[in-house]
Chains A and B, each alone.
Chain A
Amino acid sequence: MAVTAEQKLDARKLRADFPIFEQEIHGKPLAYLDSAASSQKPRYVLDAMTEFYETSYANIHRGVYDLGERATEAYEGAREKARAFINAESTREVIFTRNVTAALNLVAYAWGLDNLGPGDVVVVTEMEHHSNFVPWQYIAGRTGAQFAAIPVDHEGELQLDQLDSLATRGRLKVVACTYVSNSLGTVNPVEKLTAWAHGQGAIMVVDAAQAAPHRPLDVQALGCDFLGFTGHKMCGPTGIGVLWGRRELLEQMAPFELGGHMIRKVTLEHTTWNELPAKFEAGTGPIAEAVGLGAAIDYVGEVGLDALERYERELLDYALPRLAEVPGLKLFGPAAERRAGIVSFEVEGVHPHDVAQILDWEGVAVRAGHHCNQPLMSKLGVPATTRASFYLYTLPEEIDRLVDGLHKVRQTFA
């Protein structure tokens, strides 16, 4: 049997692909530790979009002229890349959206309004991003369904022993869960939750915003019914995300946004819908952004998602003990083996905003806030946390600079 060498990630080399790192911040090299909010963009992606605009741009799915056909080909080519990226069965199941928020709203409205009612239960988790929490809470309220959340334990992991008691509340219809927590980095047991959801007759909706940039995704292996991911967190542009949905569900669903392109025939009396995926893509789509997403999928694929996942684990193994050295620092979230490259923490007596401000003067960019996780923050008993997140261009010495900066925070507030 052939032994293949594991692909290794060279962050120092990859970093040279990202023009943003050519500048200094407050006279220091930029240590960008906020990739969970949005990643930086490699020249490869920027060039792909510029080249598309300069050589092949036109509106899609309309023009019979050459340019229109080329643009359509580029757009649909990106859809095929997105399909392969998540191992979906068909590009008909791949819907371009603005971002994950738009993808999840689409499911909550278009599936939820017609399929939920009194006596039904929608279950989310306490660690959901507001984008997979608020739409479900709202649609449950609109339809009279119950809304409940799987609680999170002190380690920042889902309390799966609570599932059975949630199931006794009524007919379980939806389980909506994030694959990777955006504030704690927790990697959730999505397969297990999917099996539970299906056993109860519910659909499984997965928010893969923080998973797609960092680990291989396979919707067929996960077994879920809907999954959303976004381009801008994985080296791609803003304004483009993907909703993947099981074909039979998408076909049964009513459309969400109405207008151009999503129709088959319009008369004064009646309108019929276009086939998938057009049925859910009203109006002119994010054309160049799709091309950028396609390029980002190529770029990340070239780096290798397995290699990326291993590299982030190395960074975590280095970062967690180094951060724990800082006096008065409290780390949130599970052990390295059950988390992605995201670390949230609290510095005793110092608000995260002040922590982030002082780190900024050291050229270290971190996020301070509730991370769109207010229910989780109240569970953790903090108004906000400071969060450092890693990506394929993160260097170990940037973690050293983070730790040094945190010592400065302590001195300032001593």
Chain B
Amino acid sequence: MSEMDNLYREVILDHYKNPRGHGVIEGADAEAEGQNPLCGDEVSIFVSFDGDKIEDVKFRGRGCAISQAATSMLMEMVKGRTAQEVAALDREELLEEVGIPLTPIRLKCALLGLGVLKLALHKGKGTALPDEWAGLAEDLELK
């Protein structure tokens, strides 16, 4: 398999073309947005809680296949888990799911959604933005 087939493997293209959890939650309990200024990827994430549990989570955005597919995968991963658990989620868990080798630039694409989600949880439940994200949060213009 060539590098290209590897990067744009079927599952990535499938998530890109048919994103899971795509949309907006009206009256969401928490929401956040972020951009990747390097390439103009944009992601907004909406969360509704049942207690501490993430009852529903949706995203909308535009950007490269990696950023949008990784965010789509993330939606499936976190639904039903607690805010605290997801706030502490190791990025490797998502990257394993994405399952392709990424250069530093593409890594930022893949992690955009996770950063935005953690920001939404921080806003909604006061969970910490872990140190490892502090630098990246600035890069990603998280607000």
- Hey, which bits of chain A sit against chain B, CB under 8 A? 26, 350-354, 357-358, 361, 368-370, 377, 383-384, 412-413
B66-108 Cβ-contact flags toward A at 8 Å (1 or 0): 1000000000000000000000000000000000000000100
B30-45 Cβ-contact flags toward A at 8 Å (1 or 0): 0000000011111000
Listed residue (B3, B7, B38, B64) with the most chain A CB atoms within 10 angstroms of its CB: B64
**Nearest opposing residue in chain A for B5, CB measure:** A412
What is the minimal beta-carbon distance from B120 to any residue of chain A, in angstroms? Answer: 21
Cβ-defined contact, B109 with A358, below 8 A: no
Cβ-defined contact, B3 with A353, below 8 A: no
Q: Which 6 A-B pairs have CB atoms at the shortest separation, nearest pair first?
A: A383-B40, A353-B64, A351-B64, A384-B40, A361-B4, A353-B39
Residues of B within 8 A of A412 (CB): 4, 8, 13
What is the minimal beta-carbon distance from B80 to any residue of chain A, in angstroms? Answer: 30
**Nearest opposing residue in chain A for B39, CB measure:** A353
Q: List 11 A-B contacts (CB under 8 A).
A: A351-B62, A352-B64, A353-B41, A354-B8, A354-B65, A357-B106, A361-B3, A361-B4, A368-B39, A384-B40, A413-B8
**Nearest opposing residue in chain A for B36, CB measure:** A353
What is the minimal beta-carbon distance from B91 to any residue of chain A, in angstroms? Answer: 20
Cβ-defined contact, B63 with A357, below 8 A: no
Listed residue (A350, A353, A358, A370) with the most chain B CB atoms within 10 angstroms of its CB: A353
Residues of B within 8 A of A377 (CB): 40
What is the minimal beta-carbon distance from A317 to any residue of chain B, in angstroms? Answer: 30
Instruction: Determine which of A358, A361, A383 lies in contact with B63 in the assembled complex, contact meaning CB atoms within 8 Å.
Output: A383
B interface secondary structure, majority = mixed
Residues of A within 8 A of B63 (CB): 351, 353, 383
A352 to B109, CA, bound (A): 13
A351 to B17, CA, bound (A): 12
Cβ-defined contact, A384 with B4, below 8 A: no
For the A-B complex with A361-B4, A368-B39, A383-B42 known, give 16 more contacts whose Cβ atoms are closer than 8 Å. Answer: A350-B65, A352-B39, A352-B64, A353-B66, A354-B65, A354-B66, A357-B4, A357-B7, A369-B40, A370-B40, A377-B40, A383-B62, A384-B39, A384-B40, A412-B4, A412-B8
Residues of B within 8 A of A357 (CB): 4, 7, 106
Listed residue (A350, A354, A361, A412) with the most chain B CB atoms within 10 angstroms of its CB: A354
Please give the number of chain B residues whose Cβ is less than 8 angstroms from any Cβ of chain A in the complex: 18
A26 to B64, CA, bound (A): 22
Listed residue (A350, A357, A368, A413) with the most chain B CB atoms within 10 angstroms of its CB: A357
Residues of B within 8 A of A351 (CB): 39, 41, 62-65
Cβ-defined contact, A358 with B40, below 8 A: no
Instruction: Determine which of A353, A384, A413 lies in contact with B109 in the assembled complex, contact meaning CB atoms within 8 Å.
Output: A353
Cβ-defined contact, A413 with B64, below 8 A: no
**Nearest opposing residue in chain A for B63, CB measure:** A351
A353 to B4, CA, bound (A): 13
What is the minimal beta-carbon distance from B122 to any residue of chain A, in angstroms? Answer: 25
Residues of A within 8 A of B42 (CB): 383
Cβ-defined contact, B13 with A413, below 8 A: yes
**Nearest opposing residue in chain B for A358, CB measure:** B4
Residues of A within 8 A of B62 (CB): 351, 383
A26 to B109, CA, bound (A): 23
Residues of A within 8 A of B65 (CB): 350-351, 354, 413
What is the minimal beta-carbon distance from A223 to any residue of chain B, in angstroms? Answer: 37
A369/B64 contact (C-beta < 8 A), A412-B4, A413-B13 known = no
What is the minimal beta-carbon distance from B129 to any residue of chain A, in angstroms? Answer: 25
**Nearest opposing residue in chain B for A369, CB measure:** B39
A142 to B35, CA, bound (A): 27
A357 to B103, CA, bound (A): 11
A369 to B36, CA, bound (A): 10
What is the minimal beta-carbon distance from B90 to any residue of chain A, in angstroms? Answer: 25
Residues of B within 8 A of A370 (CB): 39-40
A361/B2 contact (C-beta < 8 A), A353-B109, A354-B65, A383-B63 known = yes
**Nearest opposing residue in chain A for B37, CB measure:** A370
Residues of A within 8 A of B4 (CB): 357-358, 361, 412
A354/B64 contact (C-beta < 8 A), A369-B38, A412-B8 known = yes
What is the minimal beta-carbon distance from B113 to any residue of chain A, in angstroms? Answer: 15
**Nearest opposing residue in chain B for A355, CB measure:** B64
A350 to B65, CA, bound (A): 8
A361 to B103, CA, bound (A): 14
A383 to B109, CA, bound (A): 14
- For window 1-26 of B, CB contacts with A under 8 Å fall at 2-4, 7-8, 13
Listed residue (A370, A377, A383, A413) with the most chain B CB atoms within 10 angstroms of its CB: A383
Cβ-defined contact, A358 with B3, below 8 A: no
What is the minimal beta-carbon distance from B8 to any residue of chain A, in angstroms? Answer: 5
